[in-house]
Amino acid sequence: MNAPARQGWTDIRAEVLRRLHSRAWKPGDAIPTEAELATEFGCARATVNRALRALAEEGWLDRRRKAGTRVAVRPVRKASFSIPVLREDIEGRGQSYGYSLLRRETARAPGAVCGRMGLARGVRLIHVTSVHLADGAPQVFEDRWINPVAVPEVSKAPLDRVSANEWLLEHAPYTHGDIGFSAELAVGKTAEVLNVTPGAAVFVIERTTWNGERSVTAVRQVFAPGYRLHTVL
């Protein structure tokens, strides 16, 4: 049964998704071509392309050049991860938020950081370390590098009063980024700042954000044992 003609790409996306959920199009099936769908829905082929592209990005469809579009055999939904403002996250749990700037300097970034940010080795960046607290107890140790070319305003940012985490989210737009999660053992400075026994298990997030082709910041956040983050599917 053909769906009613529709013009908007979001309507086409919704109808295709309905067919996937109802198993009218089963995993592995080839779906009609963009031209055929454009005729069915009474719209431009570009409109269909946008709808199918969105579903492919969400993991529902498998699109290959010259091979057409098929229903993904094992649909993989992507989790959306919003960069949290740690102050809001802690206060949202009914706790009192605290922040302390440990160090701020202009320094040559380590090779690993330059690699993550796509910068030449030895480039000088703003280096900021800080700790976020909940009810007076350290919760997150943050080690951050900021590209002053991408964010020249950072030179005047009051990072002794406002965390770089919060300041950047308000003042430095970003288009995309990458993020990594790991479990590690707290040692050295990390154990000292978080006030945990050396060797305690901690959760680590490493994130790099970009504005177009220019990297903005690379940050390593180490969370004290028991800290809980939430995201959605």
C-alpha to C-alpha distance for 95 and 102, rounded to whole angstroms:
22
C-alpha to C-alpha distance for 40 and 12, rounded to whole angstroms:
10
Domain hosting 13: range is: 9-71
C-alpha to C-alpha distance for 164 and 21, rounded to whole angstroms:
43
When comparing pLDDT for 66 and 44, which is higher? Answer: 44
Are residues 177 and 62 located together in one domain of the fold?
Answer: no
Are residues 52 and 112 located together in one domain of the fold?
Answer: no
Are residues 214 and 136 located together in one domain of the fold?
Answer: yes
Q: Is residue 172 part of a domain?
A: yes
Q: Is residue 77 part of a domain?
A: no
Predicted pLDDT at 80:
62
What's the number of domains the chain is made of?
2
Q: Is residue 116 part of a domain?
A: yes
Q: Is residue 118 part of a domain?
A: yes
Predicted pLDDT at 222:
98
- Split at pLDDT 50, 70, 90, the class of 200 is very high
Q: Is residue 3 part of a domain?
A: no
Residue 117 sits in a domain whose CATH number is 3.40.1410.10
Residue 48 sits in a domain whose CATH number is 1.10.10.10
Mean pLDDT value of segment 98-103? 98
Are residues 115 and 67 located together in one domain of the fold?
Answer: no
Predicted pLDDT at 233:
57
Q: Is residue 232 pLDDT above 80, yes or no?
A: no
Q: Is residue 21 part of a domain?
A: yes
> Residues 81, 179: contact at Cβ < 8 Å?
yes
Q: Is residue 208 part of a domain?
A: yes
> Residues 132, 98: contact at Cβ < 8 Å?
yes
Mean pLDDT value of segment 201-217? 95
Are residues 51 and 115 located together in one domain of the fold?
Answer: no
Are residues 46 and 90 located together in one domain of the fold?
Answer: no
Q: How many CB atoms lie within 10 A of CB 218?
A: 25
Interstrand relation of 201-211 and 137-146 (parallel, antiparallel or unpaired):
unpaired
> Residues 77, 104: contact at Cβ < 8 Å?
no
Among 5-9, 86-90, 181-185, 213-217, the minimum mean pLDDT is found in: 5-9
Are residues 131 and 34 located together in one domain of the fold?
Answer: no
Of 23, 44, 71, the residue that ends a domain is 71
- Kindly report, residue by residue over 114-151, the tens digit of the pLDDT: 999 999 999 999 999 999 999 999 999 999 999 999 99
Predicted pLDDT at 175:
85
Are residues 136 and 211 located together in one domain of the fold?
Answer: yes
Are residues 66 and 92 located together in one domain of the fold?
Answer: no
Identity of the highest mean pLDDT range in 12-16, 132-136, 170-174, 226-230: 132-136
Are residues 23 and 119 located together in one domain of the fold?
Answer: no
Are residues 122 and 191 located together in one domain of the fold?
Answer: yes
Are residues 36 and 146 located together in one domain of the fold?
Answer: no
Give the list of residues 6+ apart from residue 138 with CB closer than 8 angstroms, or none. Answer: 131, 132, 193, 194, 195, 224
Of 47, 71, 95, the residue that ends a domain is 71
Q: How many CB atoms lie within 10 A of CB 19?
A: 15
Predicted pLDDT at 101:
98
Q: Quick check: pTM over 0.75?
A: no
Q: Is residue 229 part of a domain?
A: no
Among 14-18, 85-89, 226-230, the minimum mean pLDDT is found in: 226-230
